[in-house]
Structure 1
Amino acid sequence: MPEIAGFNTRAIHAGQEPDSLTGAVAVPIYQTSTYKQDGVGGLRGGYEYSRSANPTRTALETALAAAEGGARGLAFASGLAAEDTLLRTVCQPGDHILLPDDAYGGTFRLVASVFARWGVEYTPVSLGDLDAVRAAVRPTTRVIWCETPTNPLLGIADIAGLADVARANELLLAVDNTFASPYLQQPLALGADVVVHSTTKYLGGHSDVVGGALVAADAELGERLAFHQNAMGSVAGPFDSWLVLRGLKTLGVRMDRHCANAAAVVDFLAAHDAVSAVHYPGLDTHPGHAVAAAQMRDFGGMISFRLNGTSSQSGEDLALAVCAGVEIFTLGESLGGVESLIEHPARMTHASVANSPLAVPADLVRLSVGIEDVDDLIADLDQALAQALERGAHSSASTA
């Protein structure tokens, strides 16, 4: 087979040759825990026990490495399982981690409530400010943990700039690429050491699987991660691997639609009087727009926005009313599926960072824009905003 350059071709074919026995085009689901050995130590294809390796998971891990342009891909039971394995591989008690100052709540909880008890220290820092990152590095710092775009404020970090800081200080740069996906952004090509994914999101793409992944740029790091993956055991099962593998095949075409729909929704929100701010890196006014335009193919399907309070209700009350008033958007956590989701981060996905330096605004709403007809999505938000404002006006009138 000739060398494959295109993303979509790699996503469909890497690690997914037709089955040698039957010619089946789809990778089989090897729903087995163990394998017959041809004599003691005589393994067929290197498989002995499915915690250590499974052919369906191998296909996914090969495809993930190809999608991100890495040396080794590894699939896990969840995104947090992948994060936990990575940090336990490269950190030890007494080490220090730099986190985004608007990191995903689950990542902050893992570091602040689990690793901190193990003696690992951390500092939240604005990763968009490279001078601030340099100033936060300590002799004990081991990892710069980057999300770009961030969850839920859609902050942007300069991956190549962070890679320079990491190399100058002999640190590992890990990039959570979940919001962008490998179709929109290639952190390893920009100098990152390892990419992290919640494959539950855009890679799976259909809200029917929970999973995680690591892709290492360097084969030696990949081997170390693979050892800990097996030793810790939080691996993706064969059916979950198959679902993510199936989702990966259509990632490119889905992301094109997510991005186009999100851009139209952003235009609507930015012009609405009830909206005080829209967080989306595709906006010229976004502080990270130039960096995002340079390192991303497009700006993604995630949006967050804040709401103006009125004389009768706070911005938080209005945000909650909008979340309750939508009919096509589904109120729910997670993101990256074909269906559009809406949520209130302060009370839902980011409740774990309440009263911390990473607390998110109470008037913030987060959207995962799906691939429905965009006119329907805009009409749904329009009616939800109108209904919320009208309810507040009635409430004010009744108390006057």
Structure 2
Amino acid sequence: MTDDEFERVNEDGASVDDFATRAIHAGWDPDPETGAIMPPVYASSTFAQDAPGEDRGYEYSRTGNPTRTALEDNLASLEGGEYGRAFASGMAAINTVLNLLESGDHVVVGRDVYGGTHRLFTQVYEDYDLEFSFVDATDLKAVEAAMTSATELVWIETPTNPLMQIVDIEAVADVAHDGDALLAVDNTFATPYLQRPLAHGADIVAHSLTKYLGGHSDVVGGALVTDDPDLDERLGFSQNSVGATPDPFACFLVLRGTKTLPVRMDRHSENARRLAAWLDDHPAVEGVHYPGLDSHPGHDIAAAQMDDFGGMLSVEFDATLEAVRTVVSETEVFTLAESLGGVESLIEHPATMTHAAVPAAERRETGITDGLVRLSVGLEGIDDLRTDLQRAIEAGIGG
């Protein structure tokens, strides 16, 4: 894909160069006393007050910490939002959104979501009298049909995990808002460099900072971004009250990651595009799920709401479970591991790893077969990645 085919321009008219500048500078100016370029890791649990109840902006690190503030401001800027909140993990961020709800509320959820999200919704919050309806979020009529008078939240991912389905954010936002519900979008796979859901009508954007925003497989974190001050206040109240906040060093590591997000995502996307095209023609491959392929059913929507197609793809093999287990175990450049979004390429088997918590019958109904393999395509040389996969496919399946 050439620069002419994909002109990266944000919805407000700002160029990709502006995004790259904000990725490096938003949230922190050089320290006026020392000139420090990077924000210090403020490893302090508490802060001195000038008088009882008179602090200098910080009182206790669970409530607020200067390193965390720098990260939250940076993330808000990248998503084109006004308010950012950082958390100890992506799941802590998702849990905070559910803390907005009350007993008896109803949530419409895209069927193809991360297994941990499914587990939280069905095995934790259903016990607190929240009701969840899992639907094909790519089918607008299915989303509309699932809405009830008790629906307070619609939760989607796009691209989805692990089937890489594309959901029309603006269309689903209209459905949610017509029903007086909030729309939350997990933007982890796309990152704000490739997609900014707030510009398409979302109320809340969620991230696992562990993935592309951190980018180096060395930190765990989560985030929420919104434009709504009242909503941010409610999220902040829960963030402080529950205390699932990241430590200052974790915030520092994610800030280090966001500075290189644009250059990393360009390479992730380039490698994934080339690998998807190669796999799509491979005789042992039944199908490839990657929105950058013209054959992908969500390709046109993805091209309209994303600036590129990202570094995640999944592959279908018409083979036995044992054969597929051999494929994912025989790679050498791809590492067999859960998670995604680091500089190194990862391979995993959703049915037995990331989505094992989803009941088998529900996995099959969603389309997560025993033959499905998910790839997080890293920054290695593309020829090395192809050679590694070819050798592993030959070892497990042949061809």
The TM-score, its normalising length taken from structure 2, stands at 0.94
Q: Given residue 187 of structure 1, which amino acid in structure 2 is its aligned partner?
A: P
Query: Is the 2:327–2:397 contact (alpha carbons within 8 Å) kept by the matching residues of 1?
Result: no
Specify which of 186, 191, 197 is matched with residue 187 of structure 1.
197
Question: Which residue of 2 is the match for residue 152 of structure 1?
Answer: 162
Specify which of 54, 62, 66 is matched with residue 77 of structure 2.
66
Query: Is the 1:333–1:349 contact (alpha carbons within 8 Å) kept by the matching residues of 2?
Result: yes
Counterparts of 2:256 and 2:121 in 1: how far apart (Å)?
32
> By how many angstroms is 1:318 displaced?
2.2
Query: Is the 2:351–2:363 contact (alpha carbons within 8 Å) kept by the matching residues of 1?
Result: no
Q: Given residue 321 of structure 1, which amino acid in structure 2 is its aligned partner?
A: T
Q: Given residue 194 of structure 2, which amino acid in structure 1 is its aligned partner?
A: L
Equivalent residues in 2 for 1:267-282 (5 A)?
A: 267-282=277-292
> By how many angstroms is 1:358 displaced?
3.9
Question: Which residue of 1 is the match for residue 153 of structure 2?
Answer: 143
SS of the aligned residue for 2:61 comes to coil
How many correspondences in the alignment?
Answer: 382
Question: Which residue of 2 is the match for residue 237 of structure 1?
Answer: 247
> By how many angstroms is 1:354 displaced?
2.8
> By how many angstroms is 1:387 displaced?
1.7
Question: Which residue of 1 is the match for residue 55 of structure 2?
Answer: 43
Specify which of 321, 324, 329 is matched with residue 329 of structure 2.
324
Counterparts of 2:134 and 2:295 in 1: how far apart (Å)?
25
> By how many angstroms is 1:117 displaced?
0.1
Question: Which residue of 2 is the match for residue 285 of structure 1?
Answer: 295
The TM-score, its normalising length taken from structure 1, stands at 0.94
Query: Is the 1:307–1:318 contact (alpha carbons within 8 Å) kept by the matching residues of 2?
Result: no
SS of the aligned residue for 1:183 comes to helix
Counterparts of 1:154 and 1:355 in 2: how far apart (Å)?
19
Equivalent residues in 2 for 1:380-399 (5 A)?
A: 380-390=388-398
Q: Give the fraction of aligned pairs with identical amino acids, expressed as a percent.
A: 56
SS of the aligned residue for 1:351 comes to coil
Q: Given residue 329 of structure 1, which amino acid in structure 2 is its aligned partner?
A: F
Counterparts of 2:221 and 2:14 in 1: how far apart (Å)?
26
Deviations 1:184-228 (A, max 9, x none): 000000000000000000000000000000001211111111111
Q: Given residue 85 of structure 2, which amino acid in structure 1 is its aligned partner?
A: L
Specify which of 298, 309, 313 is matched with residue 299 of structure 1.
309
> By how many angstroms is 1:356 displaced?
4.6
Question: Which residue of 2 is the match for residue 201 of structure 1?
Answer: 211
Question: Which residue of 1 is the match for residue 353 of structure 2?
Answer: 348
Deviations 1:79-104 (A, max 9, x none): 00000011112x11111111111111
Specify which of 353, 362, 376 is matched with residue 357 of structure 1.
362
Counterparts of 2:394 and 2:360 in 1: how far apart (Å)?
31
1:8 aligns with 2:20: yes
Question: Which residue of 2 is the match for residue 79 of structure 1?
Answer: 90
Specify which of 266, 270, 287 is matched with residue 260 of structure 1.
270
Counterparts of 1:354 and 1:333 in 2: how far apart (Å)?
19
Specify which of 357, 366, 369 is matched with residue 374 of structure 2.
366
Deviations 1:348-391 (A, max 9, x none): 0000003252452111100000001111001100111112235x
Counterparts of 1:331 and 1:344 in 2: how far apart (Å)?
9
1:337 aligns with 2:342: yes
> By how many angstroms is 1:21 displaced?
1.6
Question: Which residue of 2 is the match for residue 109 of structure 1?
Answer: 119
Counterparts of 1:131 and 1:260 in 2: how far apart (Å)?
34
SS of the aligned residue for 1:8 comes to helix
Q: Which has the larger radius of gyration?
A: 1
Counterparts of 1:336 and 1:180 in 2: how far apart (Å)?
10
SS of the aligned residue for 1:275 comes to coil
Counterparts of 1:30 and 1:227 in 2: how far apart (Å)?
22
> By how many angstroms is 1:4 displaced?
7.9
Counterparts of 2:174 and 2:385 in 1: how far apart (Å)?
41
Q: Given residue 184 of structure 2, which amino acid in structure 1 is its aligned partner?
A: A
Question: Which residue of 2 is the match for residue 398 of structure 1?
Answer: none
1:97 aligns with 2:101: no
SS of the aligned residue for 1:123 comes to strand
Equivalent residues in 2 for 1:113-132 (5 A)?
A: 113-132=123-142
Specify which of 30, 44, 53 is matched with residue 18 of structure 1.
30
Q: Given residue 73 of structure 2, which amino acid in structure 1 is its aligned partner?
A: T
Q: Given residue 204 of structure 1, which amino acid in structure 2 is its aligned partner?
A: G
Counterparts of 1:20 and 1:332 in 2: how far apart (Å)?
43
Q: CA RMSD in A?
A: 1.3
Structure 1: gaps spanning 5 or more residues: 394-400
Query: Is the 1:177–1:196 contact (alpha carbons within 8 Å) kept by the matching residues of 2?
Result: yes
Counterparts of 2:300 and 2:127 in 1: how far apart (Å)?
39
Counterparts of 1:267 and 1:322 in 2: how far apart (Å)?
19
